[in-house]
A and B are shown apart, each in its own frame.
Chain A
Amino acid sequence: MSIIKINNLSKSFGNLEVLYNISFELEAGESLVLLGRSGSGKSTLLRCLNGLERVNTGDITVAGHKMDYESSKLRLLRNDVGIVFQQYNLFPHLTVAANIALAPRLVRKVSKSDALTLAKEVLGQVGLLEKIDAYPSQLSGGQQQRVAIARSLAMKPKVMLFDEVTSALDPELTGEVLDVMEKLAKSGMAMVVVTHEMAFAKKVSDRVIFLHNGRITETGNPDEIFSSPKTPEFKTFLGAVG
């Protein structure tokens, strides 16, 4: 059963056409890596999947929700779709525990003690239980990003979206975040990952999509696509990222 289904998605910002005629499906439990040069439309595509951007045309179904921009419908979809951003976007005025507990408390109406249990559980998953009472500003970038992942996981999402979550990190901190994501993928979480980490893409993903100027230029499973790239654009891209 597919957890994401996109049909003929097109998106423009004013006159600027950013995504053309995108169609793909992702099966439950699979992880998809989105590759492409800067400006190729990766973030926009990802943000279309949880309704942060509105498409001009096309049908989107994610985790059983057909995309509908009516706000209560959109919230139902977002209940099941987690997203992690490049800049972490933790709430700086709240402790780690409160960051994680906020949405379950407000949206899922989880009790205070259950929310705390939940926070401990997801912090355990990302290996940061000891930071439960810290404020985001007291954490390293890698730790903040792991808390951001934990915050999403606390909503028990059916799909996780990752937008270049290691790009803002010092190289020595990317590993800890990628490890968490790899574990998550292995546990059967459906994920869409925008990344420039080729090793991660090769090792973890089930599917790869290469976007070029807003079009799906090449797609396939990682074994094929990396060993025998077909289009000159993808060859050039692989040459550039190494």
Chain B
Amino acid sequence: MRSFGLNEIWYMLQATQWTLYLSILTFVLGGSVGFFIALARCSRSRLLRAISGLYIQIFQSTPLLMQLFLIFFGLSLIGFRLPVLVAGSIALTFWASAFLGEIWRGCIEAVPEQQTEAADSLALTPWQQLRYVILPQASKIALPPTIGFFVQIIKNTSLTSIIGVTELMRASTNMNNATFEPMKVLAVASLIYFATCYPLSLISRKLENKLNVDH
């Protein structure tokens, strides 16, 4: 029987790296897809709006855990056995893209319609309006909720522990199995999550307040 000491904490901190890599990867990939989802949601084409709306609904209305299982176990049933890290990244990317798409749609729509009218009246093309008038204003509005959602991503990477990604949660389970000290293990794991997420939440709230003051 191992006791829970510095080596074990070190092991958990090492695994935290994977939590962060996975979070950043999810954010970058999910954000890239989500950007186009948001544009599609605000598009003039009814078809694009419908498709992107359905996409968002599918991923928002089912548990992330189920999406994870479908991509990992479901695909392996029909012969595609993806490495756990790849399966985890794909599931998180889909999930994050749907949520970021919806968050950013809201930010784009929060830019007053008169801005579009002014740009329209100056003979800018729809893309120029988006690029030079709408997106710069929308991205400022988007910063606080986006950071807030990044915190959700960090916490939800813990679900990939179930399919076997050795991130912080999985490492904690491993340490618990080795030491049978669940309270200490969970306390340290919580502390690490908290130390990562809390400052981000704080920044998000600060920016939110600043934005409200500016307006």
Check: B181 CB closer than 8 A to any chain A CB. Answer: no
In contact, B125 and A75 (Cβ under 8 angstroms): yes
Q: Which residue from chain B places its CB closest to the CB of A80 in the assembled complex?
A: B123
Check: A155 CB closer than 8 A to any chain B CB. Answer: yes
Instruction: Identify which of B55-63, B71-79, B112-120 touches chain A.
Output: B112-120
Instruction: Identify which of B6-14, B22-30, B34-42, B133-141 touches chain A.
Output: B133-141
In contact, B121 and A93 (Cβ under 8 angstroms): no
Bitwise interface map of A from 69 to 81 toward B, beta carbon under 8 Å scored 1, else 0:
0010001101101
In contact, B137 and A52 (Cβ under 8 angstroms): no
Check: B128 CB closer than 8 A to any chain A CB. Answer: yes
Instruction: Identify which of A101-109, A175-183, A209-217 touches chain B.
Output: A101-109
Contacts of B125 in A (CB 8 A): 71, 75
Chain B residues bordering chain A, tally (CB within 8 A) = 18
Check: A92 CB closer than 8 A to any chain B CB. Answer: yes
Contacts of B133 in A (CB 8 A): 91, 102
Main secondary structure of the interface of B (DSSP, over half): helix
With contact pairs A91-B133, A92-B137 given, residues A103 and B115 touching in the complex (Cβ less than 8 Å) = no
Main secondary structure of the interface of A (DSSP, over half): mixed
Which of B117, B122, B124 has the most CB atoms of chain A within a 10 A radius of its CB?
Answer: B122
With contact pairs A91-B115, A93-B136 given, residues A78 and B121 touching in the complex (Cβ less than 8 Å) = yes
Check: A11 CB closer than 8 A to any chain B CB. Answer: no
Q: Which residue from chain B places its CB closest to the CB of A108 in the assembled complex?
A: B123
Q: How far is the CB of B199 from chain A (nearest CB, A)?
A: 27
Contacts of B121 in A (CB 8 A): 50, 52, 78, 81-83
Q: Which residue from chain B places its CB closest to the CB of A93 in the assembled complex?
A: B136
In contact, A78 and B123 (Cβ under 8 angstroms): yes
With contact pairs A102-B122, A103-B123, A106-B128 given, residues A87 and B137 touching in the complex (Cβ less than 8 Å) = no
Check: B132 CB closer than 8 A to any chain A CB. Answer: yes
Check: A151 CB closer than 8 A to any chain B CB. Answer: yes
A89 to B122, alpha carbons, bound, how many Å? 12
A residues 43-90 near B (Cβ < 8 Å) are 50, 52, 71, 75-76, 78-79, 81-83, 85, 87, 89-90
Contacts of A92 in B (CB 8 A): 137
Contacts of B124 in A (CB 8 A): 102-103, 106-107
In contact, A52 and B117 (Cβ under 8 angstroms): yes
- 30 example contacts (A-B, Cβ-Cβ < 8 A) are as follows A50-B121, A52-B121, A71-B125, A78-B120, A78-B122, A78-B123, A81-B121, A82-B121, A85-B118, A87-B114, A89-B114, A91-B115, A91-B118, A91-B119, A91-B133, A91-B137, A92-B137, A93-B136, A102-B122, A102-B124, A103-B122, A103-B123, A103-B124, A106-B124, A106-B128, A107-B122, A107-B128, A151-B122, A152-B122, A155-B122
Interfacial residues, chain A to chain B (CB-CB below 8 A):
50, 52, 71, 75-76, 78-79, 81-83, 85, 87, 89-93, 102-103, 106-107, 151-152, 155
